[in-house]
Amino acid sequence: MSRLKSSEEYSRTKAFKFFRWLGGSKDPYIDTVESRHPEEEKYTDEELEKIDEEKRLSREKAYDLGQNKYLRAFECAYKILAALFCVFFAFVLIYNVSYLPPSGAAERPVNNEVSERYIEKGLEETGAVNIVAGMILDYRAFDTLGESHVLFTATITVLILMRLDKKKDEKGDKADRASRYEPYDVILQVAAAVLVPVIMIFGIYVILNGHISPGGGFSGGAIIGAGLILYLNAFGFEKTERFFTEKLYKRVTFGSLAFYALAKCYSFFCGANHLESGISTGTPGAIISAGLILPLNIAVGLVVACTMYAFYAHFRKGGF
Amino acid sequence: MDFVKNFPLFMIVLCLLSSSTSTLLKKEWARIVNTALIVIVGVMSYMVMVYCQANGSFTYMMGHFPAPWGNEVRGGVLEGFMGAFFCVIMLLSMLGGHKKLFDEVEETKHNLYYVLVDLLLCSLIALVYTNDLFTAYVFIEINTISACGLIMIRQNGRTIEAAVRYMVMSLLGSGLILMGICMIYDITGHLLMSNIKEYIEGMNGYSVPLLVSIALMSVGLAIKSALFPFHAWLPDAYGYSTVSSAAILSSLVSKGYIFLLIKIIYRVIGFDVYKGTHIIDVLFIFGLMGMIFGSVSAIRENDVRRMIAYSSVAQIGYIYMGIGMGTELGMSASVFHILSHGATKSLLFIAAIGLTEVSGGSRHFEELTGAGYRNKWSGIAFTVGSLSMVGIPLFSGFISKLLFAQAAVGLSGRMLPALIVLGISTILNAIYFLKTVIRIYTPVEETEFFELHSKQIKRYATVLAAFMLLNVFLGVMSEPITSLITAGLEMFS
């Protein structure tokens, strides 16, 4: 309390208000405004309806953004600024491209000893006819290990977001399922019966020949995943569940990822410590060749196929 | 070859293996695996640090092919230290937020939470140890996606919105970083950090693409670590997610990106080249603005968790100001502030949850009155954290402010703004943190709040005590740590 001012005078100063705010007791209406409860109002039904109507109108008007001048001006300015920024950014990038090395020229910096060794010695060192497979699964396998776990992370996030874990009562659930998820389209079923085996076999072919011809785990897995989704659409969850359940999905994903990590850990460990890994590259071009690339392709393919199917199933139904 | 050199590989593979194993495990087991993993990785990282102090840094070939062809990781003093520090903070945050996680997350999804934490740890360790730009990008992706999952695992509307915001901003950042990496690759033909640096030193021409790619990478990482004008995603993400997520996101995820930026500055572009560009000025100015505006937003905030979140914007501003000074001293002050902010911010989040718990679950200031008496441990811990953030001697925040001030003295053109803003920001920090401390120690009469069980209190109190000790340790024993940081930064170049 200030000694220079009387308490009445002091209560009007800013310091007093500040300390009251600090103490949490600031309420300008206490003791300054007389308050009493309003009398209860009585309305007839008609009046009530009218009031509701007025409330509805005012609410609509208040939330109608078109009515708000400032918001409209802000939105307008926002759009213009965003467009200007995009134009500016595009201009910077285009300006920048004109300074980049000309595409296709022999003297580009990217044509250096790195790509030279990939192209010239790739076949000999990795045993893979498909240089790209050799590059992503042998030379730079660590990046691909990370990349396959990106897929895994994405699936886990989708599981968190979409999986419905609340147990509904069994009967209602089944009836609900039958009406919503079980299809009856004969044309689709016949077409799928013809197409799905072909798609599956093609996917397996792409994965198994990943080290010989263009393709590999990622593309083959996507093909198999698409086949599974087509099968699901044609025949429904009940039939798919006979061979593809959540348990199987978990085990396959775990098995392939763990195999990938362990196999690559072994090969990295041997390579870095200059030990013989005992993995031979075999005869280039043969189906069993190129060391670890074939099993890794299979593992990646399984992960990708499971991921695609799991995404679809979760977005559609919230579970397998 | 010494066995310790294998540890970076073992750490990463262990994280990946335990993450995929945890999908099959029950939640208790997933939790045990997670705790054990964090401890093991921390110990390994510490051993790497000790090894490097004696023998200098090393590179480790990932596979049978040497570096520009195969992948490579690099171990050094600073890498080892950061890895171990991240593990300590993560362990404490997980233990401290365990009960809240139990309450807020659906029971069937608990093991998924641990899976995500394992993956996040993996990506942080990989970001710290990587020596290759593309490897860094791959693990940035894992980091981003798992951080989104950690935000939205507590499923209510707010967190979903926060996760969407975080995802949009963060993916924008990733895109910019990827563009930058592509351009660097186009003009140098390498992805390995040391090779790029060598090439850039002897390069003539291509100055425009180099500048653009530096800018893209810096801005991308700045968006992901919530530097001032790009911080819109931050308050919701930190304010509404479950408390371990908030602590991990604020003290580890954003710091991992800043550490990567420092690594890029030193090991990819070269400190001298980076100083020559004007991007460093931009970072400096944004840092200063963040220091002021972050604090102002925090003062206006009426929700204690969001207030702490806004304070992060200010603290990230400090770190970028240090980077923007363009001197070795500024850089080591920044690295120290990464540590001190990491230790303090997670402490504050965990303490705040204890305070709101005894105030009927409300996070508003009025309800918190007197909370320090109802939950004594949280009150003390919150006070310690606040004092540290304000910069009272004995605590870690003081040392980092001292280091920033020392680094600023004598810089032509940057001394005055840096010192003035440092002063203003300290006062603003004091306003909102001490206001909260006074508020939680204002006595109230009624005592009708539920009590926590003694066992839970014991574990919670241990975590808080460990955090406070860590804070005081950083504040009192700063000398060896700063010399370690300086040695580590020298080892970078």
Which of A320, A307, A316 minimizes the C-alpha distance to A149? A307
Q: How many domains does chain A have?
A: 3
Write down the pLDDT at residue B334: 92
Write down the pLDDT at residue A133: 82
Nearest CA in chain B to A146: B138
Q: Considering the domain boundaries, does residue A117 fall inside one?
A: no
Which of B16, B94, B4 minimizes the C-alpha distance to B51? B4
Helix (H, G, I), strand (E, B) or coil at A129: coil
Q: How confident is the model at residue A153 (pLDDT cuts 50, 70, 90)?
A: very high
In this structure, are A189 and A266 located in the same domain? Answer: yes
**Beta carbons of A101 and B186 less than 8 angstroms apart:** yes
Q: What is the 3-state secondary structure (H, E, C) of A219-242?
A: HHHHHHHHHHHHHHHHHHHHHHCC
In this structure, are A158 and A295 located in the same domain? Answer: yes
Q: What is the ipTM of this complex?
A: 0.89
Residue B254 CB contacts under 8 Å (≥ 6 apart), including other chains: B224, B225, B226, B312, B316
Write down the pLDDT at residue A104: 80
Write down the pLDDT at residue A3: 63
Q: Considering the domain boundaries, does residue B150 fall inside one?
A: no
Rounded to an integer, the average pLDDT of B56-85 is 86
In this structure, are A6 and A55 located in the same domain? Answer: no
In this structure, are A79 and A173 located in the same domain? Answer: no
No. of helices (H) and no. of strands (E), chain A:
12, 0
Helix (H, G, I), strand (E, B) or coil at B155: coil
Per the model's pLDDT, the better-predicted residue between B260 and A168 turns out to be B260
Of residues A96, A111, A264, nearest to B209 (C-beta): A96
Q: Considering the domain boundaries, does residue B301 fall inside one?
A: yes
- Pairwise CA distance, residues B127 & B260, whole Å: 6
The residue segments making up the domain with residue A1 are: 1-30
In this structure, are A310 and A175 located in the same domain? Answer: yes
Write down the pLDDT at residue A65: 63
CB < 8 Å to B442, chain A: 23-24
Q: Considering the domain boundaries, does residue A297 fall inside one?
A: yes
B139 pLDDT higher than 90: yes
Of residues B115, B135, B208, nearest to A143 (C-beta): B135
B365 pLDDT higher than 80: no
Instruction: Give percent above pLDDT 90 in chain B.
Output: 39
Q: Considering the domain boundaries, does residue B320 fall inside one?
A: yes
Of A4-18, A30-44, A124-138, the one with minimum mean pLDDT is A30-44
In this structure, are A197 and A307 located in the same domain? Answer: yes
Q: Considering the domain boundaries, does residue A89 fall inside one?
A: yes
CB < 8 Å to B145, chain A: 150, 153-154, 157
Of A109-113, A123-127, B295-299, the one with minimum mean pLDDT is A123-127
Exposed, middle or buried by CB within 10 Å (0-12, 13-18, 19+), for B294?
Answer: buried
Q: Considering the domain boundaries, does residue A115 fall inside one?
A: no
Of A98-107, B22-31, B45-54, B428-437, the one with minimum mean pLDDT is A98-107
Q: Considering the domain boundaries, does residue B419 fall inside one?
A: yes
Of residues A100, A153, A267, nearest to B142 (C-beta): A153
Q: Considering the domain boundaries, does residue B477 fall inside one?
A: yes
Q: Considering the domain boundaries, does residue A245 fall inside one?
A: yes
CB < 8 Å to A110, chain B: 185-186, 189
B319 pLDDT higher than 90: yes
Of A253-262, B271-280, B306-315, the one with minimum mean pLDDT is B271-280
CB < 8 Å to B21, chain A: 254, 258
- Pairwise CA distance, residues B331 & B284, whole Å: 12
Question: pLDDT digit string (tens) for A49-81?
Answer: 888 888 887 777 666 666 677 888 888 999 999
In this structure, are A84 and A183 located in the same domain? Answer: no
Q: Considering the domain boundaries, does residue B160 fall inside one?
A: no
Of A134-148, A159-173, B255-269, the one with minimum mean pLDDT is A159-173
- The per-residue pLDDT of chain A, averaged, comes to 81
Q: How far is CA A302 from CA A131, A148, A254, A287, B395, in A?
A: 22, 11, 10, 19, 52
In this structure, are A67 and A139 located in the same domain? Answer: no
To the nearest 10°, report the CA torsion of B101, B105, B110, B116.
-80
Rounded to an integer, the average pLDDT of A173-202 is 78
A157 pLDDT higher than 80: yes
Indicate yes or no: CB of A139 within 8 angstroms of CB of B70. yes
Rounded to an integer, the average pLDDT of B87-97 is 90
Rounded to an integer, the average pLDDT of A6-27 is 75
A319 pLDDT higher than 80: no
In this structure, are A64 and A165 located in the same domain? Answer: no
Rounded to an integer, the average pLDDT of A233-247 is 81
Q: Considering the domain boundaries, does residue B115 fall inside one?
A: no
B451 pLDDT higher than 70: no
- Pairwise CA distance, residues B205 & A163, whole Å: 54
In this structure, are A278 and A144 located in the same domain? Answer: yes
Helix (H, G, I), strand (E, B) or coil at A288: coil
Q: Considering the domain boundaries, does residue A111 fall inside one?
A: no
Per the model's pLDDT, the better-predicted residue between B363 and A171 turns out to be B363
Distance from CA of B35 to the nearest CA of A (A): 19
- Pairwise CA distance, residues B364 & A201, whole Å: 61
Q: Considering the domain boundaries, does residue A187 fall inside one?
A: yes
CB < 8 Å to B206, chain A: 99-101
Q: Considering the domain boundaries, does residue B338 fall inside one?
A: yes
Interface check for A257 against chain B (CB to CB < 8 A): the answer is yes
- Pairwise CA distance, residues B200 & B265, whole Å: 12
Write down the pLDDT at residue A32: 61
In this structure, are A237 and A291 located in the same domain? Answer: yes
**Beta carbons of B144 and B116 less than 8 angstroms apart:** no
Q: Within 13 Å, how many C-alpha atoms sit on residue B479's CB side?
A: 1
Question: pLDDT digit string (tens) for A274-291?
Answer: 877 777 777 777 777 777
The residue segments making up the domain with residue B297 are: 278-493
Nearest CA in chain A to B209: A96
Which of A224, A237, A226, A234 minimizes the C-alpha distance to A319? A237
Q: Considering the domain boundaries, does residue A165 fall inside one?
A: yes
Nearest CA in chain B to A94: B209
Q: How many domains does chain B have?
A: 1
Q: Write down how long chain B is.
A: 493
Q: How far is CA B189 from CA B130, B193, B208, B369, B492, in A?
A: 18, 11, 16, 61, 22
**Beta carbons of A277 and A271 less than 8 angstroms apart:** yes
In this structure, are A73 and A136 located in the same domain? Answer: no
